[in-house]
Amino acid sequence: MDPTVLQAGYDLLGDGRPETLWLGIGTIFMLIGTFYFIVKGWGVTDKEAREYYAITILVPGIASAAYLSMFFGVGLTEVEVVGRGTLDIYYARYADWLFTTPLLLLDLALLAKVDRVSIGTLIGVDALMIVTGLIGALSHTPLARYTWWLFSTIAMIVVLYFLATSLRSAAKERGPEVESTFNTLTALVLVLWTAYPILWIVGTEGAGVVGLGVETLLFMVLDVTAKVGFGFVLLRSRAILGDTEAPEPSAGEASAAD
């Protein structure tokens, strides 16, 4: 590929947005992920596994809509920033993340089988992370932008800490299959999610060291891996199956088993 294409992308719609190449490729990957998970989940009858499929199919499904809208230039706005001029901000990302990051966390919370209060707290702090990141992206002074970035990053650290400590020990209680899948997915989340605030702060939203084309490419790679890659690891694991080997003894179940 010609180096200028790698630098900025290729203006597919001819409207002066070279990043449309990466947004178009992102849409295709998210659609492939969505349909792959649908086909894979088609004949699944296990009740618990079906829950994981429903959640995990929604994630790239929502992202494909967000990517397609950004591709066509919807969910894009201009923000005047003191000392930086006018920035192009794709705010549709935050709408995507506001729904998809809680769903990814819900998958992990279901694996760990934690209570509703823990799930609510985890998702609440995660939503705070996305909303404060959006406020930062729409702010007009560098000081405000960096302050919101810090707020959002602290919320992210709380989420990741919660995953690596209390959810991790809860997952361990559920046996080696769940423990190993949970740990693989959490390692993936720790690495990939940490890259988002770094890319934001070096990218056009922050210092502007990385241009919009490269930034859009890297966010696309992160988004595809954090959603489709995550789903691929989760849905191929036996950890998502209900505890069929040791059914809870309850009245009526003996006759239902015949």
Ligand X SMILES: *C/C=C(C)/C=C/C=C(C)/C=C/C1=C(C)CCCC1(C)C
- Is the Cβ–Cβ distance between 105 and 159 less than 8 Å? yes
Beta carbon of residue 225, minimum distance to ligand X (angstroms, whole number):
9
Nearer to ligand X, 12 or 192 (CB): 192
Beta carbon of residue 50, minimum distance to ligand X (angstroms, whole number):
22
Q: What residues have CB less than 8 Å from 61, skipping those under 6 apart?
A: 30, 34
Among residue numbers 114 through 133, which ones bind ligand X (CB under 6 A)?
Answer: 129-130, 133
Nearer to ligand X, 112 or 226 (CB): 226
Q: Exactly one of 37, 223, 231, 234 binds ligand X (CB under 6 A); which one?
A: 223
Nearer to ligand X, 68 or 129 (CB): 129
Strand, helix or coil at 86? strand
Stretch that binds ligand X, among 1-9, 25-33, 150-158, 165-173 (CB under 6 A): 150-158
Say which residue the tokens 């993936």 belong to.
188
Tokens representing 130 are 């996305």
Q: What letter represents residue 38's amino acid?
A: I
Beta carbon of residue 15, minimum distance to ligand X (angstroms, whole number):
25
- Is the Cβ–Cβ distance between 25 and 228 less than 8 Å? no
Residue 226, interface with ligand X (CB under 6 A)? yes
Torsions phi, psi for 76 (to 5 deg): -125, 135
Nearer to ligand X, 131 or 241 (CB): 131
- Is the Cβ–Cβ distance between 30 and 228 less than 8 Å? yes
Say which residue the tokens 């080696």 belong to.
176
Beta carbon of residue 101, minimum distance to ligand X (angstroms, whole number):
5
Among residue numbers 180 through 219, which ones bind ligand X (CB under 6 A)?
Answer: 193, 196-197, 200
Rounded to whole angstroms, the Cα distance separating 223 from 85 reads 28
* Number of residues located near ligand X, criterion CB under 6 A: 17
Residue 87: enclosing H or E segment and its boundaries? strand 85-90
- Which x/- pattern over 54-93 shows residues binding ligand X (rule: CB under 6 A)? ----------------------------------------
Residue 37, interface with ligand X (CB under 6 A)? no
Q: What residues have CB less than 8 Å from 6, skipping those under 6 apart?
A: none
Tell me the residue nearest to ligand X as measured from the CB.
Answer: 133
- Is the Cβ–Cβ distance between 142 and 160 less than 8 Å? no
Beta carbon of residue 256, minimum distance to ligand X (angstroms, whole number):
39
Nearest CA-CA partner of 143 in 97, 84, 92, 197: 84
Q: Exactly one of 66, 92, 109, 156 binds ligand X (CB under 6 A); which one?
A: 156
Residue 27, interface with ligand X (CB under 6 A)? no
User: Which residues contact ligand X by CB under 6 A?
Assistant: 97, 100-101, 129-130, 133, 149, 152-153, 156, 193, 196-197, 200, 223, 226-227
